[in-house]
Amino acid sequence: MAVPVQRVEAVTVRHYTSRAGDPHRHLHLQVNARVFAAGKWRGIDTVAFRDSIQAINGIGHAAVVCDPELRATLAAHGYTLNRDGEIVQLARFVGPFSKRAAQIGMLLDRYEAEWRREHPDQEPGPQLRRSWDARAWAEDRPDKVIPRSGAELRQRWLDELAGLGYRDRDTPMQLALELPGALERDAAVAEVVPRLGAGRSAWNTADVRGEVEQLLARIDIVTDPAVRTELAEDLTARTLKLCVPLGEETTPEHVRALTSRHVLDVEADLTARLAVRGAMTVTATQPFAVDGLDAGQRAAVAGLVGDASTIVIEGAAGAGKTTTLADARAALAEEGRRIVVVTPTLKAAQAATAEVGARAGSAAWLLHQHGWRWDDTGSWTREPSEPAPEAVLRRGDLLLIDEAGILDQDTARGPLAVVDEAGARVALVGDRRQLPAVGRGGVLELAHRWVHPDARVDLEIVHRFVHTVDGATVPDSEYARLSLAMRDGACSGCAARESNPQPAD
């Protein structure tokens, strides 16, 4: 039974430093797991609370960035904030002053440089940059430093700032802010729905409120908290009217049961294209007799070289999916047919290039070649273009999407349109049980559902895991078995116990 909460107890923990010991003022919100509801203390619905995080983060961010007193104080001392809530006049000190920021910046520069080498004359889109940022922050997270005296830290920071050339500003800044009454509200909410749809297929009211608050911070709505709250509530209500409910029944507020017409249209388009291809006749082919391949891999090569309009190859990590693709490429080349390989990410493209023996590019590269462009909200449009020869597909060519399990729906729509226009074939290779897409996923699930049964291949034998015995490398069949058991999820606890048995009494 769920009842409305009447009282919540929470505490904030104020931190002044980052894990690396650099200045970083921030708050941690800790909420009591017991709340007062319907006359007594009860356990909080943690699912509902977790699904409200978007609103909590958005409201907290806007409360700081849009606070009139803070902005006036900063302006009086010569400082202004940018759209991201950072102090403009201190931006040049962030990199050299922050050890973690410097590390993140170097990682982002490296990711972008690697991507640009593979995609000359292109610009990375917002989703790609978000994935780089998440990857950079997750890489090499430092341990916490030993606490030090606050006065000592403050003096050290002041000395470092002075050494970097910082001097106190003596000229106040004139604030030029957006007045709440001047905001075109319907135009503002038109930006909210695409941003929500760029990250997920469905959302709830809290997700909408969080995105609205982020919008108010970006466009500099600095006003009294009560006015900002009224504005946020109105924009949230307007946005909810633009959303499409996923069902007719009333659902709890925290359940993500809202979507948009664009999200539904994209999935309907993907489903229609895959269903038409799955209904096409497939000529049965005999598995290729290729040395070193197991039965599943030989069947996969036969499918890739055959005439199926769509092929789906799925298998666990280490099942030899990419190795299979190399043999398929060679077999297609002997028949004078071409295989074009794309992947969701640059890293996967680099791995595919090395292992398949054919140049691989990202799906974004293929889309850019064929005229697709995206804006800051992640919305796609298409313009006339002249693609490079290596991006042109001909009838009978095979477009192979490797790591298709992490391909998002908006990106997948383009390659499927390209192969339909060219009369080419498409193969999706990956694993639905591995990492999901950064945006709206489920592409491989849709392909698996609609592909012709004779064009679906499951690789069930793991080859990658090995161990050393008397100096020789031999397959580790037990580790592979445990890996498959954990992947299937039939008894993950059993797999964990077998991999780490307890000593006997």
Whole-number Å distance between alpha carbons of 321 and 328:
11
State what percent of residues in the chain have pLDDT above 70. Answer: 82
**Strand-strand pairing, 360-362 and 339-343:** parallel
pLDDT of 325: 79
Angle, helices 185-199 vs 225-242, to 10°: value is: 70
**Strand-strand pairing, 339-343 and 310-315:** unpaired
Domain boundaries, the chain: 1-44, 263-459, 466-499
pLDDT tens-digit profile, the chain (505 residues): 778 889 999 999 998 887 777 788 888 889 999 999 999 999 998 888 888 888 999 999 999 999 999 999 999 999 998 878 889 998 888 777 766 666 777 888 888 888 888 777 677 776 677 778 777 877 766 556 566 677 888 888 888 888 888 888 888 888 777 788 889 999 999 989 999 998 889 999 999 999 999 999 998 899 999 999 999 999 999 999 999 999 888 888 888 999 999 999 999 999 999 999 999 988 877 666 666 778 888 888 888 888 899 999 988 776 766 677 777 888 887 888 888 888 887 666 666 666 666 677 888 889 999 999 877 666 778 888 899 888 899 888 999 998 888 888 988 999 999 999 999 999 999 888 777 777 788 899 999 999 999 999 888 777 665 555 566 555 566 666 666 666 666 655 554 455 454 444 4
Nearest Cα to Cα of residue 211 among 189, 227, 230: 189
Contact assessment for residue 269 and residue 410, using Cβ atoms and an 8 Å cutoff: no
Nearest Cα to Cα of residue 428 among 409, 447, 406: 447
Q: pLDDT tens digits for 36-83?
A: 999 999 999 888 888 888 899 999 999 999 999 999 999 999 999 887
Residue 286: CA count within 13 A, CB half-sphere: 3
pLDDT of 9: 94
pLDDT of 504: 44
Residue 371: CB atoms within 10 Å: 15
Q: pLDDT tens digits for 425-474?
A: 999 998 887 777 777 888 999 999 999 999 998 887 776 655 555 665 55
DSSP calls for 62-74? HHHHT-HHHHHHH
Whole-number Å distance between alpha carbons of 186 and 239:
9
Whole-number Å distance between alpha carbons of 323 and 298:
11
Whole-number Å distance between alpha carbons of 399 and 206:
40
pLDDT of 93: 84
- CATH number of this structure's domain 263-459: 3.40.50.300
466 CA to centre of own chain = 32
pLDDT of 428: 94
pLDDT of 145: 58
Whole-number Å distance between alpha carbons of 282 and 310:
9
Contact assessment for residue 476 and residue 466, using Cβ atoms and an 8 Å cutoff: yes
Nearest Cα to Cα of residue 228 among 54, 53, 65: 65
Whole-number Å distance between alpha carbons of 260 and 242:
7
DSSP calls for 179-200? -GGG--HHHHHHHHHHHHHHH-
191 CA to centre of own chain = 19
Contact assessment for residue 196 and residue 262, using Cβ atoms and an 8 Å cutoff: no
